[in-house]
Chain A
């Protein structure tokens, strides 16, 4: 568990509905951009302190500290050379102060156990569930599902 305090918090500031939609739509792209820099503090900056994350293997991480710490470990091994691309996003309002974003993604360059970069290209969908907290929007839950090739 990470002992250092949370930093790089650039939470969305909601001013108008239009701006809110724009800000929320940027979330997956900000996530991917930070992911590709292997900056986990920035990748999960918009996550609530008590957020939950379920990865493609069904592994569940609870709380911002655990989510960032586990992903920092993974970015030293299997994700050390990977590149994440956001292909398409879809936003839906749940209520006036909550929404979810589906982000379809492609990932290349996973590293296997012995440290070799694989040629395999993975695809999947990541859902972010966001809600307004005062003047900011936070991710309360994210869950990832890999798309099975048929």
Chain B
């Protein structure tokens, strides 16, 4: 079991100003900035909102810890599998969990040379002084619908359907 509490790096609580609010648009912009930078393959900009100690779990379940590790890994990926990828943010949901923390959930579609992928990226954000930063992000890819299953897997489904029909037949 690992405890990694933000001891030394815990942000100072910002001074409260009467009527002060962090505009929700600042949180909303996190996935939009991420996608714009992703599409420029500007990995440093894509993860600019991430904390130095941020965690990232990608769609393949690979775990990365620390801004430097996350960026380095994605630089490599953008030279290979994501070299021609195009990311679109379809929908963003915001949720404040406490005064200084929030959840930003972004539904995405990605075009790659292998086809279209969809998923959900969860950003866990913390308020640091006058800005929000991402302390953790986790990505999950949607399982493809039957209609979108590639040809070779479609054959497998057809086989299962035929088998079931044979079992149900009198």
Interface residues of A (CB under 8 A from B): 21, 25, 52, 54-60, 88-95, 97-98, 100, 102, 113-114, 123-125, 127, 129, 131-132, 140-141, 143-148, 150
Contacts and interface: CB of A to CB of B under 8 A. Distances in A.
Given A21-B5, A90-B2, A129-B97, A148 B126 contact: no
B77 interface: no
B95 A90 contact: no
Contacts, number: 121
Given A94-B135, A127-B124, 6 more contacts: A57-B143, A91-B3, A93-B6, A129-B122, A129-B124, A145-B138
B125 to A, nearest CB: 8
B138 A131 contact: no
B124 A100 contact: yes
Pick the most buried of A21, A25, A56, A58: most chain B CB atoms within 10 A of its CB. A58
Contacts of B139: 145
Interface of B: 1-6, 10, 53, 55, 57-63, 95, 97-98, 100-101, 103, 105, 118-120, 122, 124, 126-127, 135-136, 138-143, 160, 164, 167
Contact of A92 (B6, B60, B142): B6
24 contacts: A25-B3, A58-B143, A59-B142, A60-B120, A90-B2, A91-B3, A92-B4, A92-B6, A93-B6, A94-B6, A94-B100, A95-B100, A98-B97, A98-B98, A98-B100, A100-B124, A102-B57, A114-B164, A127-B122, A129-B124, A144-B140, A145-B58, A146-B61, A147-B60
Given A113-B160, A147-B60, A93 B142 contact: no
Contacts of A92: 4-6, 53, 55, 135-136
Chain B, interface SS category: strand
B57 A127 contact: yes
A19 B112 CA distance: 47
Residue of A56, A131, A140 ringed by the most chain B CB atoms within 10 A: A140
Q: Could you say which of A91, A97, A143 has the most chain B C-beta atoms within 10 Å of its C-beta?
A: A143
